[in-house]
A and B are shown apart, each in its own frame.
Chain A
Amino acid sequence: MQITFWGVRGSYPVPGAATVRYGGQTSCVEARTASGETLIVDAGTGLRALGNKLLRESGGAPGQYHVLLSHVHWDHIQGLPFFSPAYIRGTKISVYALLTAANELDQVIGGITRHEFFPMPLEAVPAQFQFHQVEPGVDFVIGAFHVTPIALNHPFGSVGYRIDGDGSSWAYVADTAPFTEVLHKQHFLRGPEPLSDDDRVALAAMRDALVRRLAGVDTAVYDTHFLPEEYARLPHYGHSTPDHALAICAEAGVRRLVLYHHAPMHGDDQMDQIAATYLAKGAGLGIEVLTAFEGMTLPVGVEAAA
């Protein structure tokens, strides 16, 4: 299995000279088995270029595509209306997302193509869409991929995925805050709120489940939006630092960590510094740390070790 990064940015797309090397498009990763089966994780603006590539590969023939969503914030779904295979009649697109993130997923996804936002409503798009609601802890199978949803700590809920296939495994852990200062629920946070005992129990349980699900995973792609000093100012924004990710990966025995969901204001030069800093920190813990850039393809598991 291999994974390719089509969008690595968080929040919103960032064009310009400062993002040409790491890329400015938002969250989208493609997993592909040796036999060519694909799975798309998140549908941020990176999805547009991926869709164009998939359409070239299919020669314009209709296909079946599977899209796992971590949650339905704009930066994770904004690419969907620009996914060119959707405009081929006969194409089928299955979208999977967390129950609490979108009680009526078809309306939420259809909502971004209502006439006030986009020229063509979802009903008029030639592809057939199917919506599936995932629940943390309830595994499912998509072709060659075995998918395990994992609850994460993010405003209104988010879900990560462990993905096994071709005898290897990787995990997508975005978006998530760490599991200490703030428990994200279904209301707006102006700042960190005091934790109750129940909140602490819930956070510990979420962290334990994440570590358990990540056990032995070859590669973890992790929301490391913030540097520590940025996180200290905005702990209620729902994102982690590379240090938080390293701690989880060390505990779970993850071989390789990929820093992902880069903050819009982190330009290429700063990303180089972050990459170097955490490559060294990871080495100290026996974890290979890579920093995602647009277009990066990584073999995972068996293939990576070979």
Chain B
Amino acid sequence: MKLRFWGVRGAFAMCGREFLRYGGNTTSIELVTTAGQRLLIDLGTGATELAKQLMTCEFATGQGTLPILLTHTHLDHIQGLPFFTPFFIKGNKIRIMGADPPGLSLEATLQNQLAPHYSPLNGLENLAAGVSIESFVPGVTIALPGFTVATAAVPHGSMWTTAFRIEGDGKVVTMLSDVEYPNIEDPLPEALALARGADLLIHDAMHADPDYELRRGWGHSPARAGVYVAERAGAKKLALFHHSPDATDDMIDEVVARTAASTAVPVIAAAEGSYLDV
């Protein structure tokens, strides 16, 4: 299984020279099996870059199929949706799967994102591709071509997000982004279960450890939270993810160095760029 980070930034897309090495796009991750089956997690601005690549292959002619999993619908995870060009090509079949936000449906939420005052697309029904919006209840296991995805709800400030354990080609990628455990040192059992023995654990690392005390309760983790999960769950590699918009490349370098020095688990910071072998 190969994986590519198209967007690694949390909260806000950052432009400029200080953000070139890790990348300024908001969250989007592509997974591809050796057989070429594809899965996308989140539709942040990074998805608009993936879209350009997809439009050079079968998606340009309406032959593409793509499942998309959403961690949640905060804007930095869906703001690329109106600009994801495969949606505009008739014949493409795209599934958007996610949990319903508290009190309303996933479909109503995305419909509202495209409401006429906010977007000239004026509603999901105007996307030319076949787009299905599919709500699930976290806890279910989802079978997709080439992938099996276990899900769980994890706390994210006043709401929660969906975490994923994705198996493909006999490898496991665990996605725990936009999460803050009540006690950072003691990750929740559902998080540990999803990360058990994972080949790659992608974990929220919005805050540098020294900044965390000021931001406790905001729904995001300090860098060390992923270490606790990785060590306890026996994950083989940790990718720090959902970098703060204030974190320049040099600052992320420091966070990675400090985090890596604290654990035997190999640590990287998620960066836009090339395909990684899981």
Contact = CB atoms under 8 A, between A and B. Distances in A.
B251 interface: no
A24 B26 CA distance: 13
Contacts of B11: 82
Interface in B118-146: 118-123, 126
Interface in B44-99: 45, 48-49, 73-75, 79-80, 82-83
B15 A25 contact: yes
Interface stretch (B16-24, B27-35, B184-192, B227-235): B16-24
Given A24-B15, A82-B12, A15 B45 contact: yes
Chain A, interface size: which category? 35 or more
B24 A24 contact: yes
B269 to A, nearest CB: 16
B126 A188 contact: yes
B116 interface: yes
Given A24-B15, A111-B112, A188 B79 contact: no
A105 to B, nearest CB: 9
A203 B23 CA distance: 43
A13 B158 contact: no
B159 interface: yes
Contacts of A238: 120
Given A12-B79, A16-B24, A119-B157, A74 B119 contact: yes
A237 B120 CA distance: 8
Interface string A1-45: 000000000011111110110011100000000000000000001
Given A73-B118, A73-B119, A15 B79 contact: no
B101 interface: yes
B25 interface: yes
Contact of A15 (B23, B101, B113, B122): B23
Main secondary structure of the interface of A (DSSP, over half): loop
Contacts of B275: none
Main secondary structure of the interface of B (DSSP, over half): loop
Contacts of A160: none
Nearest to A109: B117
A16 B15 contact: yes
B45 A72 contact: no
A231 interface: no
Contact of B83 (A11, A16, A108, A116): A11
A156 B75 contact: no
B123 A188 contact: yes
Given A15-B25, A115-B159, A188-B116, A74 B74 contact: no
Q: Name which of B15, B74, B121 has the most chain A CB atoms within 10 A of its CB.
A: B15
Q: Name which of A20, A108, A115, A186 has the most chain B CB atoms within 10 A of its CB.
A: A115
B74 A13 contact: no
A72 B9 CA distance: 25
Given A16-B24, A116-B101, A74 B126 contact: no
Contacts of B73: 116-117
A274 interface: no
Contacts of B271: none
Contacts of A188: 116, 120-123, 126
Given A111-B112, A117-B74, A15 B157 contact: no
A264 B48 contact: yes
Interface string A101-143: 1100000100110011111000000000000000000000000
B14 interface: yes
A237 B80 CA distance: 18
A240 B140 CA distance: 48
B45 A12 contact: yes
B109 interface: yes
B75 A15 contact: no
A74 B80 CA distance: 11
B214 interface: no
B276 interface: no
Interface in B138-184: 157-159
B219 interface: yes
Contacts of B120: 73, 155-156, 188, 237-238
A118 B45 contact: no
B1 interface: no
B12 A48 contact: yes
A168 interface: no
A119 B74 contact: yes
Contacts of A78: 75, 79
Nearest to A186: B116
B117 A116 contact: no
B82 A74 contact: yes
A156 B73 CA distance: 25
Given A20-B15, A188-B122, A156 B117 contact: yes
Q: Name which of A74, A101, A116 has the most chain B CB atoms within 10 A of its CB.
A: A116
Given A74-B79, A74-B119, 6 more contacts: A11-B83, A16-B24, A23-B15, A111-B118, A187-B122, A238-B120
Interface of A: 11-17, 19-20, 23-25, 45, 48, 72-74, 78, 82, 101-102, 108, 111-112, 115-119, 155-156, 186-188, 190, 237-238, 264, 294
Q: 4 closest Cβ contacts across the A-B interface?
A: A15-B24, A24-B15, A116-B101, A188-B122
11 contacts: A11-B83, A16-B272, A20-B17, A72-B118, A78-B79, A82-B11, A111-B112, A115-B103, A116-B112, A117-B74, A117-B109
